[in-house]
Amino acid sequence: MTRKKREKPLSDTKPRSSTPPGCLVPFFAVFLVVGLLAGKTFLWEPLRNSVRARSWIQAPCLVLSSEVKRHAGDETDTFSVAIRYRYEFGGVRYESGRYDFEPRPSSGRRAKRAIVARYPAGTETTCVVNPDDPSEAVIDRGLGSWAWSGLFPLPFILAGAGGIWWVIRSRRDEKRKREEREARFRGESLPKPPEPSASVQGPLTLKPKQGAGVRAAGTGCVALFWNGIVATFVTLASRDWIAGEGPWFATLFLVPFVLVGLALLWAFLKTLRGLAAPRPVLTLEPATIRLGSDARLSWGFQGRTRSLSSLQVTLEGSEEATYSRGTDRVTDRTLFHRSDVVRTPDPFEATTGATTFHVPSGTVPTLSAPSNRVVWLLRLTARIQGTDDVKEEYEFTVLPPVAPGRFGG
């Protein structure tokens, strides 16, 4: 009876209903298109014009009029520099009304007032003229602080592109799972667990599933990405506050995003602190372990072992079943074995030592299939004085007994 219960997830052939991931492509495509169009307007075009204007020719010009123009909006008003100036190029007189390449009016009236005060009517200054089209001219060809606002479409682009990539990957995974279910329905056998080389019989140094360096790098990338985007909007809001135009709504809207960014930074600092903690080194002998056999575990630590206070190592066997639930991919984990290998509150014994543990015969060997896995691992928890505990997981392979059985030949 126990055996049947364990086998059920591994031989489940009941089809599972799910919403086709492809239906989400138009949804993510909207984000991508909106982000690309906004990026073209607010970032690419101003950047291209600024680079293009580097080769334009300077010419003297006379300011005819200048003022700050107000643009009424639903939530708040925006402002722009309305300027007219006259210049000559190639013996022909032209007029232009472009001050810079800012693509739209923005908040912050004080900055615009400063520009208008610098270029009142009657001022003689210089502008740059496009030699291929002399009717095109600009006074300031640089990218001002407003250019940072061109990054705001980036989250839409990333969400759209990332979502479409996820849909494509999900459809590929769903096809593989469907082929697997059809194979099981036809009565084809499940994959056999991996058989290591016969020469691999000596001790095996285990590697953690995710080392401290990998965690620090991953957390740092997420924190950098999130705070980089949030910093763009914070900079824009700060500029408006400095200009005397307090954007209260935008500031309150940014508060939760800033708090999430601070939490990510705190998590990153914690992972950095974990790099200084003692690092465990586990050795398993023999490298090939079968159900019903014994294995020897040796352990030690690298780094400042004086801060180590206790150690616990647990042997765990679990089954993981992955399936579709609606539009989500869900993994259920069932623990079928757990036992203590090492449990000591003695710092001296925790620093280095060795012990023998038994892998019970009435369980399941390691299995790796597209939708199901049987995983054996050693879970280590080392308590460190003055900092966070060291927690690592070490997977290893458990083979069937030598005698032919469920997975035997």
Q: What is the dihedral of CA 137, 139, 141, 144, to 10 degrees?
A: -140
Tell me the CA distances in angstroms from 120 to 105, 116, 187, 332, one per residue in order.
20, 6, 86, 71
What is the mean pLDDT of the segment spanning 121-147?
Answer: 85
Q: What is the pLDDT of residue 57?
A: 92
Residue 190 has pLDDT above 50, yes or no: no
Q: What is the pLDDT of residue 144?
A: 64
Q: What is the pLDDT of residue 31?
A: 74
Over the stretch 140-185, which tens digit does the pLDDT of each residue have? 887 765 565 666 677 777 777 877 887 787 777 777 666 665 655 5
CA 209 distance to own-chain centroid: 19
Backbone angles phi, psi at 84, to 5 degrees: -130, 135
DSSP alpha helices (H): ranges in 186-304? 212-242, 248-274
- Find all residues with CB under 8 Å of 397, minimum gap 6, and list them: 193, 194, 196, 288, 289, 366, 376
* pLDDT band per the 50, 70, 90 thresholds, residue 299: very high
Over the stretch 238-253, which tens digit does the pLDDT of each residue have? 766 665 556 676 677 7
For a pLDDT cut of 90, what percent of the chain falls above it?
24
* pLDDT band per the 50, 70, 90 thresholds, residue 63: very high
**Is the Cβ–Cβ distance between 2 and 363 less than 8 Å?**
no
What is the mean pLDDT of the segment spanning 18-37?
Answer: 70
DSSP alpha helices (H): ranges in 72-153? 109-118
Query: Which of 133-142, 209-218, 275-284 has the weakest average pLDDT?
Result: 209-218
More confident residue, 67 or 38: 67
What is the mean pLDDT of the segment spanning 364-384?
Answer: 87
Q: What is residue 401's three-state secondary structure?
A: coil
Beta strands in 304-347 (DSSP E): 308-325, 328-344
Angle (nearest 5°) at CA 80 between 231 and 74: 75
For a pLDDT cut of 70, what percent of the chain falls above it?
76
Residue 329 has pLDDT above 50, yes or no: yes
Residue 129 β-bridge partners: 57, 137
* pLDDT band per the 50, 70, 90 thresholds, residue 327: low
One-letter amino acid for residue 150 of the chain: G
Question: What is the pairing mode between strands 279-285 and 390-396?
Answer: unpaired
**Is the Cβ–Cβ distance between 216 and 271 less than 8 Å?**
yes
More confident residue, 384 or 273: 384
Q: What is the pLDDT of residue 71?
A: 82
* pLDDT band per the 50, 70, 90 thresholds, residue 92: very high
- DSSP classification of residue 190: P
Q: What is the mean pLDDT of the chain?
A: 78
Element (H, E) at 241: helix 212-242
Rounded Cα gap, residues 395 and 368, in angstroms: 12
Rounded Cα gap, residues 385 and 306, in angstroms: 9
Angle (nearest 5°) at CA 287 between 282 and 290: 115
Q: What is residue 132's three-state secondary structure?
A: coil
Provide the b/e sequence for 138-163 (b: ≥16 CB within 10 Å). bbbbebbebbbbbbbbbbbbeebbeb
Query: Which of 195-204, 308-317, 346-355, 378-387 has the weakest average pLDDT?
Result: 195-204
* pLDDT band per the 50, 70, 90 thresholds, residue 385: confident
Rounded Cα gap, residues 349 and 311, in angstroms: 8
Rounded Cα gap, residues 225 and 230, in angstroms: 9
Q: What is the pLDDT of residue 257?
A: 84
